[in-house]
Every structure is written in structure tokens, then in C-alpha cells.
Chains A and B, each alone.
Chain A
Amino acid sequence: MAKVLVVTSGKGGVGKTTSTAALGVALAKSGQKVAVVDFDVGLRNLDLVMGAERRVVFDLINVVQGDAKLAQALIRDKRVENLSLLAASQTRDKDALTQEGVTRVIGELREKFDWIICDSPAGIERGATLAMYHADVAVVVTNPEVSSVRDSDRIIGLLDSKTAKAEKGERIEKHLLLTRYDPVRAERGDMLKTEDVLEILSIPLLGIIPDSEEVLKASNLGAPVTLSSPTSAPARAYFDATRRLIGETVAMTVPTDKKGFMERLFGRRVA
């Protein structure tokens, strides 16, 4: 049975697109057939992070409006088998997404893939609500800081009321992905601790992704971190999260990068 997963957060810049790409690659590597769909119409990014920006011909809007077939718009990843991308349109806005069109596209994707990962835009407007509407599972991406946590709480409320599952009286499965986590700063009290975030949001924890330069480097390279440096700390955290997502029990740890002697001596350079 195909599963529709929405990666959402409310707040912008917390790592939705990065996480969508990293989880997509990790799931595809584990043998699942995966489609990642960019719902951020007008501000598309997922194609860049996936390194497919030069191969986009048709996009989600074309398929929603019936101008292109789904098969024409899906971009197969060259590096990972079983992974496809449905890009957003950069020239249109979110009003071009229609409820019926999205329903039809999700229905078609369900027939072809095991996992459909919807990268939600920030905010709580049309784009975000349409991205979450058909979801069976939600990954709520949160940074350990108060504004992000409050926005996530708002999104969880919407997931419980404004999705197809909620309207049928069912509960949507929700997971918390804590990103940009810095154990040193959390220990110093500069950041919210994991327990505090979990206490406020009260949804199960899917993983803790350590803050790392590797993530930024990977995004700029157009290769998700789980592909470009699979042994790095954030990549290992994403792989663990993926295994939890498909139902495996994995002990919760915050992977760390082993720092060289000089680095430990001088701390981190300003990125």
C-alpha cells in the first residue's frame, strides 16, 4: 500500500526541503519506490537540492492542469534507482493548484510508488494545506527554538483537522524530526532541549539531525546528504530516521562527527 508522507513545519528555513531530499534518497536506497513532490509552487527548491534543475520540462502544475501526463513530468534520479522527482513550477503561484487536480495526481502516484513524499511550502495557506491534505503520515520538521516549535504546534493542529484523514475521523500518523540540533549549545541552554520540544509538541520523535556543514555543502552540490556523504553525522541520522519510519526500532542517538585535533582546538570556523 502506497503511503503519502508530507514534510511540513509551518516555519520557513527549518529544513523541510533538505529533509525531503535526504529521506527520499534513504528510502529509495532501502529498496522502496519513492517519488518526491515539490509543493512549493513559485519558490521551487527541491529540484536544486536533488540536482535535477536542468532536467525539468514539465512540472506539478502542468500535470494538475492536465497539460502534461504524469509520466512526462516525473524526473528519474540518475544516481539512485527507484527515486523520481515531480518539480514545482517557478513561474506560477499556489492558486494554480486545484483540489481536484492534486487529488488526481496523488491518486496516480499512489499506483506507481511505495512512498510519495510531499515537500510542503512554509506557511499555513493553500500550498501547505494542499500538500498535507492527502497525507497518511506527516514528518514535522522543527528547529530547537521557540518560534519554530510554536509554528510546528500550529501545523500539528491543522494536520489533526484539515486533512482527508482527519475529515474522515481518523488520526494522521505524526512524527517529529528535530533538525539543526547542536548538542553543545543545547547543553549550554542556548537552545531548547529535546525533552522540552517533545513535551510541548507531544508527538513521537523520528530523529535528531545534528547541525552540520555537510548539510549545507550537500544542498549546494545538488546531492542530498544521504547521497553525497552517507557516513557523515547528519546522513546517519537521516538513515536512522528512515528506518524508524518504515517501522524498525532504532535506538535514539545524536550522531556526531569526529573532529580532528586542530578543529577541536580552535572550534568551528564561521561558515
Chain B
Amino acid sequence: MALVLTPEPPVADWLAALDSQMKQSPSVFEARPVIVDMSGLPRGTDLTAVVDALMARDLRIIGVEGADPDWTDGQTWGRTPMMSTSRADRFYEVTTEVADVPALPKEPSALVLTRPVRSGQSVTFMQGDVTIVGSVASGAEVIAGGSIHVYGALRGRAVAGLLGQPGARIFCRRLDAELLAIDGIYKTADDIEPELRGRAVQAWLDGEAVMLAALD
């Protein structure tokens, strides 16, 4: 699915906001086709410059819409297909407020549990990291939007980075897990190197593989 970017005046500020957004969540933009909607820009704006600026950011522009076809005549990017309609749900909002201090989240972005997670129990926390001071039993599962930290034995399942956070990690003091998953890529107990069992271990994602290494 293509992303729709809608530049707004002043273009320089909007580009700065886009840069910070790309830095925060590079995966959103990676290898995604982009359509530029120019309808938000006043007549007479140098559209070539806008498109060049976007291309300089390695965005794969597959089309431009909301621009008067006359403006494009004879321009270097004139061959870019012109589009006339777009669905609102494909818009990617680029916030123009460049906040100096990151806004404090209202919801807590971490969950701390001081009890063991028993067999059959499931802890799900999509907003961020989960820390468990205790063990995760065989037959229990911990699902987190962010990373998972277990200060005890991890014997059940740990599913981290569920909402597309490939940077999420799983840490535990004693690895005996049934399954480890990060951003949809998983590793079952069978595939875990036997020499890592019972040790303090961290797991992270390297491309399409869950990597494991001892912490001590």
C-alpha cells in the first residue's frame, strides 16, 4: 500500500518535520511507494523543488496528485504519473509541530509486574515494555508492544515488538522458554541452542532471524 504525503507551507518546516518522523520510525517509509499530494500547497510553489527534496530522501515517489497538470509540463519529473483521487485513509500525517521536548505520554509506556506469571496466565501490554520481577511459567505468555524483561526464569512464551517494532528485545535471567518472538519472527524451544538454556540471555532481531546471546 502506498503512503500519501501532503506537503504543507512553509515547505522547509514540513520537510524538517518529515525528517524527524523518518528518523523516529524508519520502517514506515522503508521500501514503501509514496504518492505526493500537492493540493495543500499554494499556487506558484516550486513543485519541482519539493519533489527533488523528497527524492533526495530516498523516497520512492510513484505519483503526484493534486497538482495542476499545466505546472508539470516540461518539468524533469513530468513523467511521474498523475493521480486524481486518493482515499483519506492512505494519508500519512506529517506533524509540523517540531517539539523540542518530547511530549509526555499520558498512558504509562511500561508495565512492571512484581508477581510471577503463572501457567495459563497471559500478560498483554501493547503500549510498550513489560518488566516482570519473577518468573514466567511454562504455559504462560507475555506479549508486549515493546521489549520484555524477565528478572527470573522465562519458561513460557515471550512475544515482543508485536506492533512492528523490530528493535524490541527480550531479556531474561534464566532462559528456558517455549517460544521467543520479535516482530512476528519466532524461535521455538527446539531451535534454541542448548548451551544457552538456563543462562541469562538476550534475544534480538537481525533481519529475518531471532538472535540469542548470553548476557554473562
Given contacts A150-B139, A153-B139, A154-B139, contact A202 B116 (CB under 8 A): yes
* Complexed CA–CA distance, A235 and B87 (Å): 77
A156, B135: Cβ atoms closer than 8 Å? no
Complex Cα distance, B153 from A199, in Å, reads 9
When distances are taken between beta carbons in the complex, the residues of chain B under 8 Å from A151 are 119
In the complex, the answer to whether A157 meets B119 with C-beta atoms within 8 Å is yes
Q: Which B residues are CB-close (under 8 A) to A153? A: 118-120, 137-140
**Can you name 11 A-B residue pairings with CB atoms under 8 Å?**
A150-B138, A151-B119, A153-B119, A153-B137, A153-B139, A154-B119, A157-B118, A157-B120, A160-B115, A200-B137, A202-B116
| Cβ–Cβ < 8 Å partners of B139 in chain A | 150, 153-154
Q: Complex: how many Å from CA A254 to CA B159?
A: 41
Sorting the interface of chain A by its residue count into under 10, 10 to 19, 20 to 34 or 35 or more gives 10 to 19
Mark contacts of A183-222 with chain B using CB atoms, 8 A cut-off: 1 yes-contact digit, 0 otherwise. 0000000000000000110100000000000000000000
Q: Check: B72 CB closer than 8 A to any chain A CB.
A: no
From residue A108, how far is it (CB to closest CB) to chain B in Å? 32
Q: Is B202 an interface residue (CB 8 A)?
A: no
CB distance from B8 to the nearest CB of A (A): 51
Using A146-B138, A153-B139, A202-B116 as known contacts, list a sample of 7 further A-B pairs with CB atoms less than 8 Å apart, ordered by residue number in A: A150-B137, A153-B118, A153-B120, A154-B118, A160-B115, A200-B135, A200-B153
Residues of B within 8 A of A146 (CB): 138
Does chain A have a CB within 8 A of B121? yes
Report the minimal beta-carbon distance from B12 to chain A, rounded to whole angstroms: 56
Chain A stretch 11-30: residues in CB contact (< 8 A) with chain B: none
Closest to A124 in B: B120
Contacts of A124 in B (CB 8 A): 120
Inter-subunit contact B135/A154 (CB<8 Å) = no
Q: Within residues 124 to 183 of chain B, which ones have a CB less than 8 A from any CB in chain A? A: 134-135, 137-140, 153, 155
Q: Which residues of A contact B121 (CB under 8 A)?
A: 157
| Cα A102 to Cα B199 with chains together (Å) | 47
- The interface of chain A, by Cβ under 8 A from chain B, is 124, 146, 150-151, 153-154, 156-158, 160, 199-200, 202
Q: Evaluate contact between B120 and A154: CB separation under 8 angstroms.
A: yes
Nearest 9 Cβ contacts at the A-B interface: A157-B118, A153-B119, A154-B119, A154-B120, A153-B137, A157-B121, A153-B118, A150-B119, A150-B138
Contacts of A158 in B (CB 8 A): 120
Task: Name the A residues within 8 Å of B134 (CB-CB).
Answer: 202
Distance A153 CA – B153 CA, assembled complex (angstroms): 14
Q: Which of B76-129 contact A (CB under 8 A)?
A: 115-116, 118-121
Residue of A nearest to B176 (CB): A200
Q: Can you name the residue of chain A whose Cβ is closest to the Cβ of B138?
A: A150
Residues of A close to B138: CB separation below 8 A: 146, 150, 153
What's the minimum C-beta distance from B75 to chain A, rounded to whole angstroms?
Answer: 66
Question: How far is A158 from B120 in the complex, measured between Cα atoms in Å?
Answer: 9
Cα(A172)–Cα(B98), bound, Å: 52
B203 to chain A, nearest CB (A): 22
A62 shortest CB reach to chain B, Å = 33
A21 to chain B, nearest CB (A): 27
In the complex, which residue of chain A has the Cβ closest to the Cβ of B115?
Answer: A160
Chain A residues whose C-beta falls within 8 Å of the C-beta of B116 in the assembled complex: 202
Residue of chain A at shortest CB distance from B134: A202
